[in-house]
Structure formats: C-alpha cells, structure tokens
Structure 1
Amino acid sequence: MKISTQLMYAGDPKDLIEQVSAMENAGLDAVWVAEAYGFDSPTLMGYLAAKTTTVQIGSAILPIYSRTPALIAQTAAGLDAVSGGRAILGLGASGPQVIEGWHGVPYDKPLGRTREIVDICRRIWRREVITNTGNYPIPLPADQGTGLGKPLKMLTRPIRADIPIYIASLGDKNVQMTAEIADGWLPTLFIPEKANDVWGASLAAGKAKRDASLGDLEIVAGGLLAIGDDVDAVRDASRPVIALYVGGMGAKGRNFYNDLARRYGYEAEAEQIQELYLSGRKEEAAAAVPAEFAELMNLVGPAGYVKERLQAFKEAGVTTLNVTPIGADPAALIAQVKEWLA
C-alpha cells in the first residue's frame, strides 16, 4: 500500500508545498491538489513538480466542466513533462453549486461527459488526429461555428501516452463507470467497513467490462492521521468537515454526500445534519455527526489502534492510503506509517 496526502485549501501554498517536500523525504508516494473555487490546481501542481523529485502529483480533482477535453489533456501532458512522468489526472464532476454557481455552465450529463473526456485525453496523448461526436463535437460543426475548424493532433509529443486517470465518484453508475474505464478511483468520506455494502456490486459490474490492459483498479482513500493516547480532539476536528459535505454540499435531494451517509446507515443523522447546516446552525450540525462516522473514516488513536485502521483500509481494497497528518511533525507521522506499511 502506498501513502499520499492532500494539499490543503487554506494557508500559503508555498509553505504547504515545503511541507510536502519534507514528507516526500519521509516516504510520501503521492500528493493530491484540489480545485474548488480557490486557487487553480495546475499552477500549484507545476510548482510542486519543481520542488519535488519522486512524489507523484495528482489533481483531485479537476472539474470536468471547467475546461475543454483538449485543455484537460494538454494540462496533464504538460505537468507530466515538467515532472518527469509523475502526473496523475484526477477528474470529477464536482456538483451543481460549484459548476453552475462559480463556472456558470450547466451541470448536465456527468457520466457521458466523463467517459468522452477520458477517451479524448487518451487519444490526444497517443497523438491521434482528434474527431469526436456527442457532448464534445470536435471539430465544431459549421452550423455551430465558422466552419473553419479542422481535425488536429497534439503539436508536442507527450512523454507518456498512458498518464493515469483517476475518477472521483460516489453513485452506483458513476462508480461502475470508474471501475470500467479509469486507472484509479477517488472516493470521498470512505468508511472501509461499509464500503463493500455500498459499492461492491457497482465495482464488480464495472470491472467485468474493464479492459485488461488497464490493470487493476487503484483505490485512494483515507482520512486524518494522528498517533497518540490523547488525540480525541483530532478526530472531533473532522466533524465540521463531514457536516459541510453531508449538510452543505448541495441542496435537499441533490447532495451526493448526504446520499452516501444514508447508504452507510445514518439516515436520520444525515437528515438532521442537513437540516441544521442549511439553517445556518453549523456547530450543531457538526455535533450531530455520528461518533462512529468520525472514528471509522479516520486513523486517529494509539499506535496499535491506528495499525488496526490501516489493516481495515487495506482489507477494503485501498491501494493508496490518503492521509492528512495532524501534529507537530507531519513528516514523522508519514515515516511511521510508511514503516508499518513496509
């Protein structure tokens, strides 16, 4: 099992990237850079490429609606070139609040769009002449533009034609598609003991259609990491984040994370968290997060207990443990877990 971390939204990006450099020296395998409506991901990923030497650098995620398929492919190929083949393209649909509220484009056909983008990216990296129908007509038909567009292939030569593509997905159809076409899966709010009940059938259905040349599906999941006898406060610190996702990331009836909490068996709690959060009572929403939820999705506690959590994630099929180390020396925490995983 590999180990990765997420570049946090808050703070000075340069300081955060220096921390990543220290964790790389401690054995970190990959770092993920999110993009919501703060700094863009590719700029920070390029800076990471210049400041690191071995760690893989992944977007987690680039929203599919924020760029054309060709630009997504160009961005991944550029990052792969400047990093010496360390890029991972993490894609996801995000949600209507961000896509329509920030980018100002309709949130429609997420599955079809994702499938087409993955196909177009791989063809671009192989330097094929690109044409496409469907959600992304390439070249643009004459009745939609000037009629002067012509099929093109990528001008520069990517250093890899098989840059890994990971997809963030939660719903049954999305997860099935991910297991079919992606190199890796980026689930959120992952509880290993409940994962098979929620996603097992979808993963199996997707893998049944999977091209053998893709190899096994990589799974990236984890949570907060803190080792000690008095770290309960760290676990509780995840409650506001869980409440944000379950309660505030979407409207009633259109919140993928709330749906997930219900599928985990927290139906009443999910409804209460959402009611409280949407009415502005965020602290009460955080307090309503089940203790079990906060415990099982994180790796927080004495060394023996954290080792047990590592095994739980491994048994759930996780191939890259994605952690946010909390403590005075994050690099030392990475080194400790890396030793346990050896």
Structure 2
Amino acid sequence: MRIGMGINYAGDFSETINNLLEFEAAGLDRVAVPEAYSYDAVSQLGYIAAKTETLELATGILPLFTRTPTNIAMTAAGLDYISGGRAVLGIGASGPQVIEGFHGVKYDAPLGRAREYADICRKVWKRERVEYEGKYYKLPLTKEDGGTGLGKPLKLINHPIRDRIPMALAAIGPKNVALAAEKFEEWQPIFFHPDHVDAAFGEPLKAGKAKRDAELGELQISVTTALLISDDDTAKDNARALVSHQVALYVGGMGARGKNFYNDLAVRYGYVDEAKTIQDLYLDGKKQEAADAVPDDLVRQISLIGSASEVKDRVQAFEAGGVTMALATPMDVDHAANVQQVRLLKEMIS
C-alpha cells in the first residue's frame, strides 16, 4: 500500500506547496487535488508538477460533465507531459446540485458517459483518429446528430508521454463500482470499510472484473482516510469526532430521503437503523446529534486513528481488503507533526 494526500481548496497556496515538498521528502507518493465548484484542480496540479519531483499528481476528481471527453484527455496528456509521466486522471459524476446548479449542464446518464469517457480518452492518448459512435458522444459530429457536417476525425497533435494514463473512477453505487472494475485502472470508494468489502461491493466487483481487459492489470483501490498515530486519548477522540461529522454530512445530508448513495452504503455495511437515524437527525437540522449517532465502530474501521499498534492493524485490514493507495489526511496539531505522521505511516507500511 502506498500513501497519498489531498490538499485543501483554500488557504495560502504557496505555503501549502512548501509544506507539500516536506511531505514528499517524508515519503508521500501522491497528491490529489479536488474540484467541486471552487478553483479548478488542473491549474494547481500544473504548479505542483513544477515544484515536485516524484509525487503522482491526481485529479481527485474532475466532474465528467464539466469537460468533453477529448478535452479531459488533452488535459490529462498535458499534465502527464509537464510532470514527466506522473499524472493520474480521477473522474466522477459529481451530482445534479453542482452540475446543473453551477455549470448549467443537464445531469443524465453518468454511468454510460463514464464508460464512453474511458474509451475516448484512450483513443486520444494512443493518437488514434478519434472516431467514436457512442450513445452519448459521437465523433466527429455529423449533420444527422446536429452538427454542420464539416467535422473531421482528428488525432492528438502531440505524442503523449504515455499512451495509457492511469484512470480512476470515484464510485460507491453497484453499477458504477462494476464499471470501475471493468474499465478503469483504479477504483476510488469513499468511507471504505475493509471488513465489509464483500457485502457492500463483492458482486459488482466480481461482475466488472469478469469483463476486465488484461491490459489494465490488477484493479487498484484508492481510499480516503484520516490519519493520527498517537497515544493521546483526547487527540484521538477529537480526530474521531471530526470523522463522525464528515460521515454524518454525507450519510445524513448528501441527498434526500430515499436517494442518498452514502446512506445506501452505510446500509450495505450493516448499519441499517443507524443510517436512518443519522439521516433523520441531519435533515432535521440536528447536525451534532447526527454526528453523535455515527457508530464508533464505523469511524474506527474507516480511519487510521489510534496507537501505533491499532493503526498497524487497520493498515493490515486495508491491505487485506485490496487497498493499494491510502489518501490519508494527517490530523495532528501542526505541519511538522503531520509530516511526522506521514513518515510514521510510511515506516509502518514498509
């Protein structure tokens, strides 16, 4: 298992990058830059590419609907070029609140579109003429499909550093998980509970892997988690409380009753009654009570918080669950302490 870390949307960017260099020296393998409706991820990653030497540079994630498939392919190829082959293209569907609310683009068929994005990106990186007859994307666009009829099948002018840039799909729904296992190098679930992988994801993973092209290699699994290796009980309790609030936000507030993918995930993990309670409390405006209702067992299983021996046990559980990349957010008191957290985790894994 390798170690990555996401960076925040806001703050002093120069300071963030200077700090990132120390994490790189401590053994960090990847940095992931998120994109929601704040600054774009790619411009930041371009700057990071110029300042770092070994870090993988991941978009975490680019929402599908914000760019055409060929534009995302060009962007990933450009980032891979300026970084000397360190790009990882993370994509996902986002949701209608952002896509329709902020971008003004209809949110439809995220599953089918993700499949076609993967196909088109790989054609671009191989410098094939981009001719594609999909359900959602047709290249070139013909008169019959609403174009002028003047479009020509083109191929990327530049020769990419790599003709297969790793692609990661953020997914927790069964159909999306199956697609990740079939078409993508990497799968990125949220709130990964290694002890319930089979119950929550077993069937879709099996179905996707049965169709997987051998050229893709083994499916990589990248998970976000919180990190604190400490013997200080108060510090550990405070860190777990922050995780509880994040879980409550997603399980309780990210969607309506009856249509919340994160709530469905908690149910698949076996927390049926707890998931309902969290959602009811959160949607009633009782956010602290919702966080208090998050099972302590769930928080402990999805995070790397505890004594050295406890975290070592969780690392082994993550690895047994197939995790190959832990995007770990260190939660110590200051930057120097957080660098040490990454160093300790690196030593533990090594």
With the shorter chain as reference, the TM-score category is over 0.9
Residue 327 of structure 2 is matched in structure 1 by: 322
> 2:292, 2:13 → 1: CA distance?
30
Q: Is the 8 A contact 1:196 1:316 kept in 2?
A: no
**TM-score, with length taken from structure 2:** 0.94
SS of the aligned residue for 2:102 comes to helix
Deviation per residue, 1:33-82 (Å, 9 max, x gap): 11111111111111111111001010111111110001100110010011
Contact 1:262 1:270 in 2 (8 A): yes
Given that residues 97 and 249 in structure 1 are in contact (C-alpha distance below 8 angstroms), is that contact kept between their aligned partners in structure 2?
no
| 2:180 aligned residue | 178
**Bigger Cα displacement from structure 2, 75-84 vs 100-109:** 100-109
Bigger shift: residues 314-323 or 137-146: 137-146
Q: 1:245 aligns with which of 247, 250, 272?
A: 250
Q: Judge which range, 79-88 or 139-148, deviates more.
A: 139-148
What secondary structure does 2:238 align onto? helix
Which deviates further from its counterpart, 119-128 or 90-99?
A: 90-99
Q: CA deviation at 1:122?
A: 0.4
Q: Match of 2:289, as an amino acid? A: E
Confirm or deny that 1:90 pairs with 2:90. Answer: yes
> 2:143 aligns to what?
142
> How far apart are residue 225 of structure 1 and its match?
0.5
| Residue aligning to 1:273 | 278
In structure 2, distance between residues paired with 1:289 and 1:249? 15
CA distance in 1 between partners of 2:245 and 2:265 (Å): 17
Q: Does 1:332 align with 2:346?
A: no
**Secondary structure, in 3 states, of the residue corresponding to 1:123?**
helix
Q: CA separation in 1, counterparts of 2:207 and 2:80?
A: 31
**Consecutive aligned runs of 4 or more in structure 1 exceeding 4 Å deviation:** none
| CA shift for structure 1 position 277 | 2.0
Identity percentage of aligned residues: 51
| Aligned-pair CA distance for 1:302 | 0.9
Corresponding residue of 1:32: 32
1:234 and 2:239 are equivalent in the alignment: yes
* AA of the residue aligned to 2:290: A
The correspondence for 1:212, drawn from 211, 214, 224, is 214
CA contact (8 A) 1:226 1:299 kept: yes
Q: Which runs of 5+ in 1 are unaligned?
A: none
How many pairs are equivalent? 342
**Paired letter, 2:253:** G
| 1:167–1:186 contact (8 Å) kept in structure 2 | yes
Cα separation, 2, equivalents of 1:95 and 1:271: 22
State the shift of 1:146 in Å. 2.3
Q: Distance in 1 between matches of 2:214 and 2:110?
A: 25
**Which secondary structure does the structure 1 equivalent of 2:58 belong to?**
strand
With 45-54 and 9-18 compared, the bigger mean Cα shift is at 9-18
Counterpart Cα distance in 1 of 2:179 and 2:49: 30
Once the two structures are TM-superposed, the CA of residue 222 in structure 1 deviates from its matched residue by: 4.1
Shift of 1:253: 2.1
Matches within 5 A, 1:103-118: 103-118=103-118
Matched, 1:11 2:11: yes
Closer, same or farther: CA 293–9 of 1 in aligned 2, 3 Å: farther
Query: SS where residue 117 of structure 1 aligns?
Result: helix
In the TM superposition, residue 192 of structure 1 has moved relative to its aligned partner by 0.9
Q: For the Cα contact (< 8 Å) 1:127–1:153, is it kept in 2?
A: yes
